[in-house]
Amino acid sequence: MTGRDIIACAECDLLQLGAPLTPGSSLRCRRCRAELRRGRSNGPESALAFTIAAVALLVISNVFPIVGLAVNGNLVQTTLAGAVRVLYNGETWPLSVLVGLTTILMPVLQTVAMLWLLLPLKLGRVPWRAAFGFRLFQLARPWGMTEVLILGLLVALVKLAHIATVVPGTALWSFMVLMLLLAAASAAFDPREVWARITAASKAGRAWESPPIRFRRTAMTASSYGLALCEECGLLIRPPARSGGKWVCPRCRSPLHLRKPASLSRTWAYLVAAIVLYVPANILPVMDTSSLFGAQKDTIMSGVVYLWVSGSWPLAILVFVASIVVPMLKILGLVYLTISTQLHSQWLPEQRTRIYRAIELVGRWSMLDIYVITMLVALVQFQALATIKAGPASIAFGAVVVLTLLAAMSFDPRLIWDEAEMNHVRVK
C-alpha cells in the first residue's frame, strides 16, 4: 500500500484510506466527520472560468461608485476605495486598513493567485513559482470577505433610506455577482487536483509523493508515525533525516509541524486581548452623528434598536447576532476548547471539534457592522446638514474580530484528539 492511498484528517490527524469519488460526492473522516475530499468534475477548468469573469468584475467593482446619497439636489457618491480613504482621513486609519485589506486587497490577491496557477496549467505548462502562488492563495482566501460586505451594504442602505434618497451604483450590482463568482471559484479550486496536474507536468513529481506506511495496531494518527500533514497543500510527509531544525514541505515550501507551534499559548494571547477589547467595543460609541438637531453617539446596541423600531426587524436581528452574539460565542467557545484541551479532557471530542468548525465558519460575519459603519461614514458627509464619523468603539470592535479570527487559526483541533490517541495506546 502506498502513501498516496492514505489521507490524514486535518482536524483529528486520523489516518484512513482514500476512495474514488464521483462529482458532487464527498469523503468524510470516520472519526470527526470533517470533509477530507470532494468530488469535482473539471474543477480547475471551472475555477479558471469563474476567476477570469471575477477579474472583470473586480475592476468594475473598484472603479465605479458603489452607492450614492441624494439630499436637496446634492449627490454624494463613493467607491469602495473612496470609503476607505474617508475613514483614513477621519483619524480611524486602523479601521481603514482593515476594510481595505478584507474588501479590496485580499480578493484581488486571491484572484491573482488562482490565475497564476490555473492559466499556465490550462496551457499545459507548469506555473512559475507555483509554491509561492499557492501560498498566496491560501493566505488571501480566509481574509477576503466580499459576501460579508454585501450584507453590510444592504444594512447601510436601509439606514440611509431614512436620511435621504439612496442611488445604487454600478459597483453594487457588480459586487453581488462578484461575490457569487469568487465563492464558485474557491469551491471549484481543488488544491489536490491542482497539485496533481503540477506533479504530472513536473520532473519533481516523485519527490512530492507521500511515503509508504506499514500500519501498526497501536498507532492511529499521522503524528504517531512521525508524519506531518502540510496545512497549505495537504501533502503527507516524513521529516528528512537531517532537517537542521527546519522542516518545510518539499512541494509548497511551507513550514511543517506535527502540531501548530505554541498553539494554546498563542490562542490564549489572542483571546485575552479580544476579551479586554470586547467591553469598550460594546460600551463606547461606534458612530458619532452631527446634524442640525444636535450630536448623537450610537453604540452597536443602539444601532440594533434603531433598525428594530424603524421596522427593519430582520436586519436588526442580523446585526444583533453578527455583531454581539457571534463575537461573544466565539470567545466563550474558544475559551472552552482551550481549557478542556489543556486539561487533557477526553470528553466528547467529536462535539468539541464541531464547535471549532462552527467558530471557523461564522467568525468572518462579525465584520458586518464594520462595513455598515464604513458606508455610513463615507456617504453622510453633508457638512451643512449632517455628518457621521466612526467612533472609538469601531476600532476596538474591528480588533476583536481580527483577534478572534487569529485565535481560531492558532488553535489546533488535533490537540483535542491527542489524549484519545494516548489512551488508545495505553489500552493496547
Which of residues 372 and 19 earns the better pLDDT score?
Answer: 372
150, 176 contact by CB (below 8 A): yes
252 in any annotated domain: no
What kind and span of H or E run contains 35?
A: strand 35-38
Residue 422's pLDDT is what?
Answer: 63
Q: Are residues 263 and 406 in the same domain?
A: yes
C-alpha distances out from residue 158 to 284, 373, 397, Å = 23, 13, 22
Mean pLDDT on 84-94: 84
Residue 424 has pLDDT above 60, yes or no: no
**Mean pLDDT value of segment 66-92:** 82
Q: Are 270 and 408 in contact (CB under 8 A)?
A: no
**pLDDT band at residue 381 using 50, 70 and 90 as cut-offs:** low
> Do 292 and 428 fall within a single domain?
yes
Percent of the chain clearing pLDDT 90 (strictly above): 26
Residues 111 and 209 placed together within one structural domain of the fold? no
Q: How far is CA 154 from CA 66, 157, 276, 318, 428, in A?
A: 12, 5, 30, 11, 58
Which of helix, strand or coil describes residue 361?
helix
**Residue 141 counted as domain residue:** yes
Clarify whether residues 215 and 175 are in a common domain.
Answer: no
Integer CA distances (angstroms), 73 to 26, 67, 76, 165, 302, in order: 56, 16, 10, 10, 30
Domain-embedded: residue 315: yes
pLDDT of residue 428: 45
In a domain, 168, yes or no: yes
CATH number for position 318 = 1.20.140
* Residue 60 vs residue 19, higher pLDDT: 60
Residue 14 belongs to domain spanning: 3-39+203-237
Residue 101 lies inside a defined structural domain of this protein? yes
Query: Do residues 265 and 344 both lie within one domain?
Result: yes
* 181 and 81 within one domain: yes
Which of 101-105, 149-153, 298-302 has the weakest average pLDDT? Answer: 298-302
Assess whether 295 and 165 both reside in one domain. Answer: no
Shared-domain flag, residues 182 and 297: no
Among 56-65, 195-204, 286-295, 389-398, the minimum mean pLDDT is found in 286-295
Rounded distance, CA 37 to CA 418, Å?
23
What's the pLDDT at 228?
85
Instruction: Name the average pLDDT for the chain.
Output: 83
Residues 85 and 188 grouped into a single domain: yes
245 is a domain residue: no
Which ranges constitute the DSSP H helices of 161-203? 170-188, 191-201
At residue 208, the pLDDT reads 59
Do 186 and 50 fall into the same domain? Answer: yes
Looking at the DSSP assignment, which residues form a beta bridge with residue 289?
Answer: 296, 388
When pLDDT is averaged across residues 234-243 and rounded to a whole number, the result is 72
Under the banding of pLDDT at 50, 70 and 90, the label for residue 161 is: confident
**Mean pLDDT confidence for 156-164:** 79
Domain total of the chain: 3
Residue 309 has pLDDT above 60, yes or no: yes
Cβ pair 289, 392 in contact under 8 A? no
The count of residues in the chain is: 428
What is the distance between the alpha carbons of residues 67 and 283, in angstroms, rounded to a whole number?
30
Is position 291 within any domain? yes
Could you tell me the three cell numbers for 362?
461564522
Measured between alpha carbons, how far is 18 from 147 in angstroms, rounded to an integer?
33
CB 420 within 8 A of CB 348: no
Q: Which residues contact 289 (CB under 8 A, 6 or more apart)?
A: 295, 296, 297, 298, 380, 386, 387, 388
Distance CA(372)–CA(116), nearest Å, equals 33
The pLDDT of residue 106 is: 93
Band of pLDDT at residue 241, cut at 50, 70 and 90? low
Q: What is the pLDDT of residue 43?
A: 74
Is 31 in the same domain as 129?
A: no
Q: Please report whether residue 250 resides in a domain.
A: no
pLDDT of residue 2: 40
Same domain, 189 and 211: no
